[in-house]
Chain A
Amino acid sequence: MTDTRRSQALHAGVILLLIALFFVLPAYHVGNLARILVLAVYAMGYNLLFGYTGLLSLGHALFFAAGMYGLGMTMQFFDLDPATAFGSGLIAALVVSAVVGFLALRTSGVAFMIVTLMFAQAGYLTILYFGEYTRGDEGFVIQQAERVFAGFDLTGPTERYVAALLLFSVCFSLIAYIVQSPFGRSLVAIRENEERAKMLGYDVVRHKLKAVIISGVMSGAAGAGYALLFGYAGATFATVQYSILPLLWVLLGGAGVTIGPLIGTAFMFYLIDYSSSITTAYMLVAGVVLVLLTLFAPQGLAGEIRKRALPWLP
């Protein structure tokens, strides 16, 4: 089998497995899995920029929140139907990521991290500032009656799982396609050696900007999907913590591997789920995991698998 075939089989296999899990797992875990799938979309968006392009952003919560509020606000104030509102969430994320990318890409390294952090912080504060409309930290609920799309009530567990799986599958396939395309390979080239890539004639700045925008829109899709499927939008999702979580998921699962984000998100979700049943200080687990990963497994779970067993993993 060629590497391309193998990779197609892998990605199709993952999606089939997720369909099968719906019939096998008890209802509680199906609900969790729907949430994990939406968050994994966020992590996949993050992975494209961090894992494949080598740009470490500390401000992705801004894109997630742009999608979330792009959908939530338009449903709340303009009574848009879910599909159109989802579209407006994507557009909001597109605009925000284009602006942030255009400005932040003038910097690199540590400055890039801090600039993205600052923009996200400004975004978070803006949501608080317009608390009259956004309801600030408290957030607002999107009513069940509004979350009906083409006759499907997205609050039902089956519909919700189907919708989450659909969003995940589209993004998962898209990422698999992108990273194996010439464009995706040149992103990897930029990550490996930016100067060499430039001196091979690649327009490094434009490539990076495209990567920020695709990554931002995918994060926005996750934000919009989250608000739609779980019926809530709040400023918590725009905090620094929500910028750090996708970094954590990707590092844990394996940066620069297509299946890394899903593995990392699922693993971390259950780790936190379990530890929050023991203590309120459940983020302690996240901290310990981050430190251990930095020290011992900078490649993450899927990264280690690729290194040891399956070198063809895209």
Chain B
Amino acid sequence: MDFGPHFLIASLEGAITAAILALTAMGLSIVFGVMRVVNVAHGEFYMLGAVIAWWVAHLIGIHPALGFVAALLLAPLLVGVLAAAADKLILQKIGYDPDRTIVGTIGLLYIIQQSTLMTFGPDARPVQPPFNTRLSIPWFEFGDNGFEIIWPWGLGTTSYKLFVIFAAIVILTGLWAVMTRTKIGLIMRATQQDNEMARAFGVPVERVYAWVFGLGAALAAAGAVLVVPIQQAHYLMGGDPLLLSFIVVIIGGLGSLPGTVIAAIFIGMSDGIISVFFSPTLAKIIATLVVAMVLVFRPQGLLGKANP
């Protein structure tokens, strides 16, 4: 294949990574933005979403589409409830102290991951996509006959992959509408700005925190459900999304929601594109160092505003 079609494929793969990453990182970002704590177990909620998706699809098993839809509804719900419970049982008890929250969520990470290993086992398991039509993509070139449209071998995608991008956009738009247009969103934003003041105005801050923590985890789970028909569910799959989400949230500015989306697109696209052309390990080394340097020299994020 020539460079052009190759690049188009890479961009498409990048767009899928970006879509999933935007969902997952948004979960982390909302939790940090509203509660000011870092949830190290975020990647495990993602993994749990994928694993539950496999269970649900497996149990229903009549038709792939039915199982998938059920998983898309149930997995985020279950993961969200679990996260809210963890918030009530652990984080609330330690008063959301930043250091202790990190240590506590590291503990939670191992508990979720290892419990999955004990029940789900060490194997990677696939989920059937609900639909998977192959779509070829045309390319053009100037040949002997002038301008002509060709169908290069290998240049194509599937309807499901396009659906992932579409679904991510729908979920994020819905989230944005909730945050800006509804009373729930208003309460969340008020708590984010000043939780003492919110409390004084009768906002049940503890309950808001539990909801936000659940919502953050549910977003990660939703991203994972979308991804399992492409990747497989595995008990160690939470590591990479956690790291990438960190990177996105930091580059986008801690707690800034539009920044998070922009950074997710940027990181997802470049990750997809770079890993097609370079060694993925080298790409990861560079990305990790860049993020560390951003935190050191521009802690408000690349897109965040500098403090006066």
Please list the residues of chain A having a beta carbon within 8 angstroms of any beta carbon in chain B. Answer: 56, 58, 103-104, 106-107, 109-111, 113-115, 117-119, 121-122, 125-126, 128-129, 240, 244, 247, 251, 279-284, 286-295, 298
Assuming A107-B299, A122-B289, is B104 touching A291 (CB within 8 A)?
yes
B296 A110 Cβ-Cβ under 8 A: no
* Nearest-CB residue, chain B, relative to A116: B292
Please list the residues of chain B having a beta carbon within 8 angstroms of any beta carbon in chain A. Answer: 38, 90, 93-94, 98-100, 102-104, 106-115, 117-118, 122, 239, 243, 246, 250, 279, 281-282, 284-285, 288-289, 291-293, 295-297, 299
> From residue A235, how far is it (CB to closest CB) to chain B in Å?
11
Which of B103, B122, B239, B282 sits near A294, CB closer than 8 Å? B103
A30 to B104, CA, bound (A): 33
How many A-B pairs with Cβ below 8 Å? Answer: 112
B104 A118 Cβ-Cβ under 8 A: no
> From residue B291, how far is it (CB to closest CB) to chain A in Å?
6
* Nearest-CB residue, chain A, relative to B279: A129
A118 to B299, CA, bound (A): 14
Which of A104, A125, A284, A293 sits near B285, CB closer than 8 Å? A125
Complex A-B: 8 CB contacts under 8 Å: A56-B99, A103-B293, A110-B98, A115-B295, A118-B288, A118-B291, A118-B292, A287-B114
Which of A106, A129, A293 sits near B296, CB closer than 8 Å? A106
Assuming A118-B292, A290-B106, A295-B90, is B38 touching A283 (CB within 8 A)?
no
Question: Which 6 A-B residue pairs are closest in the complex by CB-CB distance?
Answer: A287-B110, A290-B107, A284-B114, A291-B107, A118-B292, A281-B114
A294 B94 Cβ-Cβ under 8 A: yes
User: Which residues on A sit within 8 Å (CB–CB) of B250?
Assistant: 114
Known: A282-B114, A292-B107. 18 other contacts (CB 8 A): A107-B295, A107-B296, A107-B299, A110-B38, A114-B250, A115-B296, A119-B289, A121-B243, A121-B288, A125-B281, A251-B103, A280-B122, A281-B115, A281-B117, A286-B107, A287-B107, A287-B113, A294-B107
B115 A284 Cβ-Cβ under 8 A: yes
* Nearest-CB residue, chain B, relative to A281: B114
B102 A284 Cβ-Cβ under 8 A: no
Assuming A118-B291, A294-B94, is B117 touching A247 (CB within 8 A)?
no
* Nearest-CB residue, chain B, relative to A100: B292
Most buried by A among B94, B118, B281, B297: B281
> From residue B226, how far is it (CB to closest CB) to chain A in Å?
26
A122 to B292, CA, bound (A): 9
> From residue A160, how far is it (CB to closest CB) to chain B in Å?
30
* Nearest-CB residue, chain B, relative to A102: B296
User: Which residues on B sit within 8 Å (CB–CB) of A106?
Assistant: 296-297
> From residue A126, how far is it (CB to closest CB) to chain B in Å?
6
A286 to B285, CA, bound (A): 28
User: Which residues on A sit within 8 Å (CB–CB) of B299?
Assistant: 107, 111
User: Which residues on A sit within 8 Å (CB–CB) of B284?
Assistant: 125
A162 to B285, CA, bound (A): 39
Most buried by A among B108, B113, B239, B296: B296
Assuming A110-B102, A295-B93, is B295 touching A284 (CB within 8 A)?
no
A289 to B246, CA, bound (A): 25
Which of B110, B118, B282, B289 sits near A118, CB closer than 8 Å? B289
Which of B93, B118, B292, B297 sits near A284, CB closer than 8 Å? B118
B90 A287 Cβ-Cβ under 8 A: no
B289 A283 Cβ-Cβ under 8 A: no
A295 B104 Cβ-Cβ under 8 A: yes
A287 to B107, CA, bound (A): 4
A287 B111 Cβ-Cβ under 8 A: yes
A129 B285 Cβ-Cβ under 8 A: yes
A7 to B282, CA, bound (A): 49
> From residue B41, how far is it (CB to closest CB) to chain A in Å?
9
Which of B94, B122, B279, B296 sits near A103, CB closer than 8 Å? B296
User: Which residues on A sit within 8 Å (CB–CB) of B296?
Assistant: 103-104, 106-107, 115
A117 to B93, CA, bound (A): 26
Most buried by B among A103, A118, A282, A284: A118
A109 B109 Cβ-Cβ under 8 A: no
User: Which residues on B sit within 8 Å (CB–CB) of A293?
Assistant: 103, 107
Which of A111, A283, A289 sits near B295, CB closer than 8 Å? A111
A284 B110 Cβ-Cβ under 8 A: yes
User: Which residues on A sit within 8 Å (CB–CB) of B109?
Assistant: 287
B285 A126 Cβ-Cβ under 8 A: yes
A282 to B113, CA, bound (A): 11
> From residue B271, how far is it (CB to closest CB) to chain A in Å?
14
User: Which residues on B sit within 8 Å (CB–CB) of A56?
Assistant: 99, 102
> From residue A298, how far is it (CB to closest CB) to chain B in Å?
7
* Nearest-CB residue, chain B, relative to A287: B110
Most buried by A among B250, B284, B288: B288
Assuming A114-B246, A295-B93, is B99 touching A289 (CB within 8 A)?
no
Which of A129, A288, A290, A298 sits near B281, CB closer than 8 Å? A129
User: Which residues on B sit within 8 Å (CB–CB) of A240?
Assistant: 239
A180 to B5, CA, bound (A): 67
Which of B103, B282, B293, B295 sits near A114, CB closer than 8 Å? B295
A106 to B297, CA, bound (A): 8
> From residue B301, how far is it (CB to closest CB) to chain A in Å?
11
